[in-house]
Structure 1
């Protein structure tokens, strides 16, 4: 059963939403909406660090990797964005070379937007399950550099942060075992993922229903119900969306971990793993606890993963 052997994160320094008014071209109403209604305050940004440097900073905190490099068979880059560096720069290859992961296949997964992190864990588990070596590991790297103005914020939805995470995944570990996973894409026929006015209206219309359906489907895959869930570790899109989601899911709002929304911004597909680490540090995950990681991304991609601590 796919397991998270270890999780680490790197959160660069932050800048306030108010200080992003000019760089993002926000007006007073938008600043108030992001801060007072959506609960955003500080946004992780690392303007002086490259994507490779930030990924290596996250891996550098992954103590469980030390001495186990030869066991890593796959390095999987989960990308919320298709492009985060100018051609021909490859941050992923830079990371592989620095870490000396000679035995690893290296590739990226994308096109699920901010739900790609959970997809990468599922892909890692599938590959490891077919490996002849029961001790084989996969290294999953999640998070994105806001490389273009387009990637720095989603109008009237959230502001993007540059936090990064690193995960060691095994095929069968003793804790943080994946019990269920479900993903769904409600895409447009023309393949457009940009939130033009029509797309934004449709995204808002379907968001809560589809997210609820995906969570319940992942729980059904695990042969559990929402009553069995001790904690939800969500994507940090904004506070108001999760206030509504708690009612749609039928779960008390205090079981949804929202502390990092004000501290980091929405760090693409790294959010659930950043929240996992924070929840562990706060003692919110007792042994045997059932928790759900969720994500949603541009292009109307949704995912949920059920795990047992």
Structure 2
């Protein structure tokens, strides 16, 4: 059974406030206030002097792989939101792997499900490791907000810069994957302005259904879930989703939304580290990791783990 061996994260100290984006994105003072007071997003993590490679290296350093673990890593999966994350022809993934002593591993990107690609990468890593009990995989996440589209989602969210690295094994004693559900919605394959209205209309029901389906697939009830580790889009989205599925909002870890912003596919792992550090997860607790992605269609996904 797929398991998370360890999680490393890096969120830079710098922040960009929503007010700093007002002129570029033609935000009115009222729209700025809505972001702060309604969506509960005031700023996002920002590292202007750090490259994408720097962010990924920092997350890998925090993962603190031993030499023995590094030698066992067969696959490195880079889960990303956008198809292009650095200007052509740069591709820092292989440089990062080489610098971390992972140059021998097969490294490739996973991005078909946008912001839900981190969950897809965990599932794919587990599948690749089937039949290889001694092998390991690393899932990398995190991007630079280097374009307007990668920095701001109108009326929805701000992207934050940061990264995470997750060490995955085919089995383990903790953070075992109990179920995975991904709902693909191809009807949202179109220009953002053409599909945004309908996407927002079905968003909360679709995400809630993915969460409840994953919980049921694990043979559990919502009351059995100790905490939900969300993607950090905004607080209102989770208020509405929790209302639809009857889950207590105070058991959704939302504290990083206002400070970090939506750190692309790294949200799940950043929130995991916080949940462990704060003692929100005890041995045997079941928890949900959830995410939604929009781009080349839409994906609503959820995983259930046992800590």
TM-score, length of structure 1 as denominator length: 0.95
**Paired position in structure 2 for 1:41:** 42
Question: Secondary structure of 1:151's match?
Answer: coil
Separation in 2 of the partners of 1:130 and 1:24? Answer: 50
**Paired position in structure 2 for 1:142:** 141
Question: Secondary structure of 2:192's match?
Answer: coil
1:18 to partner: Cα distance: 2.2
Separation in 1 of the partners of 2:153 and 2:298? Answer: 13
| Structure 2 counterpart of 1:195, from 186, 192, 195 | 192
Separation in 1 of the partners of 2:172 and 2:206? Answer: 31
**Paired position in structure 1 for 2:2:** 2
Q: Give the root-mean-square deviation of aligned CA atoms.
A: 1.4
**Paired position in structure 2 for 1:111:** 112
1:178 to partner: Cα distance: 0.3
The question of whether the paired residues in 2 share the 8 Å contact of 1:232 and 1:293 is answered with yes
Q: Where does the alignment leave 5 or more consecutive residues of structure 1 unmatched?
A: none
The question of whether the paired residues in 1 share the 8 Å contact of 2:55 and 2:142 is answered with no
CA deviations over 1:78-118 (Å, ceiling 9, x no partner): 01111011222111111112112133111111120100000
1:174 to partner: Cα distance: 1.0
The question of whether the paired residues in 2 share the 8 Å contact of 1:142 and 1:165 is answered with yes
Question: For this pair of structures, how many residues does the alignment match?
Answer: 304
What aligned pairs does 1:1-309 form with structure 2 within 5 A after superposition?
A: 1-12=1-12, 13-131=14-132, 134-188=133-187, 191-192=189-190, 194-196=191-193, 198-298=194-294, 299-309=297-307
Question: Secondary structure of 1:149's match?
Answer: coil
1:19 to partner: Cα distance: 2.7
The question of whether the paired residues in 2 share the 8 Å contact of 1:3 and 1:173 is answered with yes
The question of whether the paired residues in 2 share the 8 Å contact of 1:3 and 1:178 is answered with yes
TM-score, length of structure 2 as denominator length: 0.95
CA deviations over 1:191-223 (Å, ceiling 9, x no partner): 32x420x41111011111111111111112211
Separation in 2 of the partners of 1:42 and 1:4? Answer: 30
